[in-house]
Amino acid sequence: MARAVTTQRKVTNTVIAWGVGLLIFFPILWTILTSFKTEAQAISDPPLFLFFDWTLENYAIVQERSDYMRFLWNSVIIAGGSTVLGLVVAVPAAWSMAFVPSRRTKDVLLWMLSTKMLPAVGVLYPIYLIFIRLGLLDTRGGLVIVIMLINLPIIVWMLYTYFREIPGEILEAARMDGAGLREEILYVLTPMAVPGIASTLLLNFILAWNEAFWTLNLTAATSAPLTAFIASYSSPEGLFYAKLSAASTMAIAPILVLGWFSQKQLVRGLTFGAVK
């Protein structure tokens, strides 16, 4: 029987939730507002919140100085390619861990998770040398592979969790009907785990889109994504906050729109299997 929740409790929880949400969103809001200020207003003391001279000059300068569409296209290819490639590798791996019993499954999962605890700079030098030797430096293909490998533990963990919620009897029934391994994964397992797979895709696309360390160190100009586009506005002459905010707003706008329209699917996937 569900517990009764008082109106006062609902109001309190709502106020707290909105407060936390606004606190988290405030840096993004401040960046967007700063992008419409002049450089003098961006560094004014006390700070100007809404009452300032709104201008689109920063966006015009950013557009003139940089080829925004090239950076955007590189980000789409790198984030999308690494996410799809990671899914291709992770689905069979998660299936094996979820439906082929082994005493080492948890050990393998913990080992995979432990690789996320390694500082990225600790493996930068060997990966940099490998990229030079293989001719992958400043290429989108090289970044797709590296970012896929970085996020692969998260993809496998999430898919493993979702697959574990699917009854094994369904897969056994499919095998009795003559389904092979390929048909079992493509036509039985994958459709049943669509909410979980979708949320995994969305989350890892966002992580790949925001990846800065590897994109800044393994690219120069040809395959540089939006993270390099933002970093280019930090110059030896100093930080131009208004122009930097405009570049940041242009970089985060696509992923904000994607997150807004896919938030229901993301929440549904992240809670998939929570209640039986």
Which residues does 140 contact at the CB level (< 8 Å), separation at least 6? Answer: 74, 77, 78, 81, 223
Residue 99 lies in a domain: yes
Residue 146 lies in a domain: yes
- The total domain count for the chain is 1
Residue 145 lies in a domain: yes
Distance CA 249, CA 256 (A): 10
pLDDT-derived band at 271, boundaries 50, 70, 90: low
CB 182 within 8 A of CB 262: no
Distance CA 230, CA 246 (A): 9
Residue 142 lies in a domain: yes
Predicted pLDDT at 77: 94
Residue 274 clears pLDDT 60, i.e. is over it:
no
Residue 92 lies in a domain: yes
CATH of the domain at 100: 1.10.3720.10
pLDDT, average across residues 248-261: 86
Predicted pLDDT at 269: 58
Predicted pLDDT at 242: 87
Per-residue pLDDT tens for 148-203?
A: 999 999 889 888 888 888 777 787 787 787 777 778 777 887 788 787 888 888 88
Predicted pLDDT at 146: 93
CA angle centred on 249, ends 248 and 250, rounded to 5°? 90
Per-residue pLDDT tens for 2-53?
A: 566 678 888 888 999 999 989 988 999 999 999 999 888 888 888 888 888 8
Distance CA 256, CA 19 (A): 20
Predicted pLDDT at 230: 85
Domain span holding position 204: 66-232
Predicted pLDDT at 147: 93
Per-residue pLDDT tens for 92-138?
A: 888 888 887 678 888 888 888 888 888 888 888 899 999 999 988 88
Predicted pLDDT at 268: 62
Per-residue pLDDT tens for 25-39?
A: 899 999 999 999 988
Predicted pLDDT at 1: 47
Residue 2 lies in a domain: no
Predicted pLDDT at 275: 43
Phi, psi of 38, rounded to the nearest 5 degrees? -80, 165
Residue 261 lies in a domain: no
